[in-house]
């Protein structure tokens, strides 16, 4: 890739592109960068680059002519190299907001030219004549477009093959998949009384990946609800796997089934199990129906529905039966049982991002009117699912 920066401060831009990771990559010819002085293309004696704005007002406006001539020279050089016509971007506070999606799009051009404005702006006619697009790096005004062009250059060049030491690097990090990055830790294991999350020391990569994914979704949902919303939208809707022959969901009626459900929820036979059983029985008296899922003989999942209120609760899958779509199937099953309700609802812990993600993909949305502190109320708002 070739990148050109058209600016009144080429040395400043060049220094940045020669330092650190980009500097090393530039030396290895992993990309080509050229910074052009607008002043070199002026045609007046004073080498003046700007003038007062027509119609009055404060500040100065950059002339169209030197920028146009400089851009023509860049186009000529690209042609000479047998490159594609450069994609020309004007950096202005009035441009389209910049993000990683735009960075990835710009990274796909063989030649990219960034034009930096200064003072009050650039004569609009040169933007009309040469600009493929205008980009703003944020809702604030800079004294010039140099920092903005370097932000764009940096985020685009690091995506070029070989620039980052580990190719995999950028695929995992923030915004690549629309999520904020999970927290990172390095030595020592305990720093000023703060320990590294134990899961990271287990060496179990499945567990570590699951933890990182969960933290990433949780952070995004809490810190950047806009990104989280977009991520949910762009991620596959939940697919409901087919029920296997050996698989069924049965209404819990007998004592033995209540025992099995309580044991499933608590994973044991003791006091906790007895309390869980009491709780299920009390709910049944209040109008709840519970369904036990089993594969062959062994119960491995549970769900409860309340026909009176349209609530779904106690959706639970035994740990060794997870990741097989059983939770999805049981939720779909519960929704069908509650088909008389317009919008069945459920309560979920705010920290349970895997469940929240599943519920969203199944068509549940957070209920804005229900603030339950640690818990989130989600309502079913229509079909988002498809059959596998
Ligand atoms: N020039 C001045 N402010 C700018 C901004 N926010 N983004 C891009 N270029 C600019």
pLDDT tens series, the chain, 388 aa: 999 999 999 999 999 999 999 999 999 999 999 999 999 999 999 999 999 999 999 899 999 999 999 999 999 999 999 999 999 999 999 999 999 999 999 999 999 999 999 878 999 999 999 999 999 999 999 999 999 999 999 999 999 999 997 655 565 555 567 889 999 999 999 999 999 999 999 999 888 888 888 899 889 989 999 998 888 877 767 778 889 888 999 999 999 999 999 999 998 777 889 999 999 999 999 999 999 999 888 899 999 999 999 999 999 999 888 888 899 999 999 999 998 888 899 999 888 888 888 898 888 988 877 666 788 999 998 765 555 5
For ligand 1, say whether the CB of 93 is within 6 Å of any of its atoms. Answer: yes
pTM: 0.71
Residue whose CA is at the smallest distance from ligand 1 atom 7: 136
CA-to-CA dists, residue 71 to 51, 67, 82, 279, angstroms: 20, 6, 17, 74
Burial 176-195 (b: 16+ CB within 10 A, else e): eebbbebeeeeeeeeeeeee
Beta-carbon contacts of 267 under 8 Å, excluding residues fewer than 6 positions away, are none
The residues, any chain, with a CB within 8 Å of residue 118's CB and separated by 6 or more, are 8, 49, 50, 62, 143, 144, 145
The token pair at 352 is 């349970």
Element housing 52 (H / E): none
Closest residue (by CA) to atom 6 of ligand 1? Answer: 93
Which single residue is written with the structure tokens 């779509």? 325
Q: CA-CA distance, 247 to 253, in Å (whole number)? A: 18
Determine whether the shortest distance from the Cβ of 86 to ligand 1 is under 6 A.
no
Identify whether the C-beta of residue 155 lies closer than 8 Å to the C-beta of residue 137: no
Q: Best substitution site from 98, 114, 137, 147 to test ligand 1's pocket, by max atoms within 8 Å of Cβ?
A: 137
Please give the number of the atom of ligand 1 that sits closest to the Cα of 139. 6
């Amino acid at each position: 890739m070739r990148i050109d920066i058209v600016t009144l401060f080429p040395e400043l831009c060049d220094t940045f592109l020669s330092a650190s990771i980009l500097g090393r990559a530039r030396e290895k010819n992993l990309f080509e960068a050229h910074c052009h002085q607008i002043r070199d293309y002026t045609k007046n004696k004073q080498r003046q680059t700007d003038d007062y704005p027509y119609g009055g007002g404060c500040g100065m406006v950059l002339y169209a002519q030197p920028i146009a001539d400089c851009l023509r020279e860049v186009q000529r050089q690209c042609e000479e190299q047998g490159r594609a016509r450069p994609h020309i971007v004007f950096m202005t506070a009035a441009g389209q907001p910049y993000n990683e999606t735009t960075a990835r799009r710009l990274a796909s051009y063989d030649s990219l030219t960034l034009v930096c404005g200064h003072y009050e702006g650039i004569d609009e006619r040169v933007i009309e004549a040469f600009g493929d697009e205008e980009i703003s790096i944020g809702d604030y005004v800079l004294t010039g477009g140099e920092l903005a062009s370097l932000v764009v250059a940096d985020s685009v060049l690091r995506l070029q093959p070989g620039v980052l030491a580990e190719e995999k690097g950028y695929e995992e990090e923030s915004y690549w998949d629309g999520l904020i990055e999970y927290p990172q830790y390095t030595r020592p294991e305990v720093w000023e009384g703060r320990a590294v999350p134990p899961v990271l020391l287990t060496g179990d990569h499945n567990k570590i990946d699951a933890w990182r994914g969960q933290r990433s979704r949780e952070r995004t949902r809490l810190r950047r609800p806009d990104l989280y919303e977009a991520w949910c939208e762009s991620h596959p809707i939940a697919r409901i796997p087919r029920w296997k022959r050996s698989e069924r969901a049965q209404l819990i009626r007998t004592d033995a089934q209540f025992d099995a459900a309580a044991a499933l929820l608590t994973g044991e036979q003791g006091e906790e199990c007895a309390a869980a059983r009491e709780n299920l029985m009390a709910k049944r008296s209040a109008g709840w129906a519970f369904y036990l899922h089993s594969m062959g003989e062994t119960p491995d999942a549970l769900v409860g529905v309340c026909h009176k209120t349209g609530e779904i609760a106690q959706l639970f899958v035994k740990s060794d039966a997870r990741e097989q779509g059983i939770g999805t199937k049981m939720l779909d099953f519960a929704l069908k049982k509650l088909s008389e309700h317009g919008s069945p609802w459920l309560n979920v812990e705010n920290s349970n991002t895997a469940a929240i993600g599943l519920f969203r993909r199944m068509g549940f949305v957070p209920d804005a009117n229900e603030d339950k502190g640690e818990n989130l109320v989600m309502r079913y708002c229509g079909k988002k699912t498809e059959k596998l």
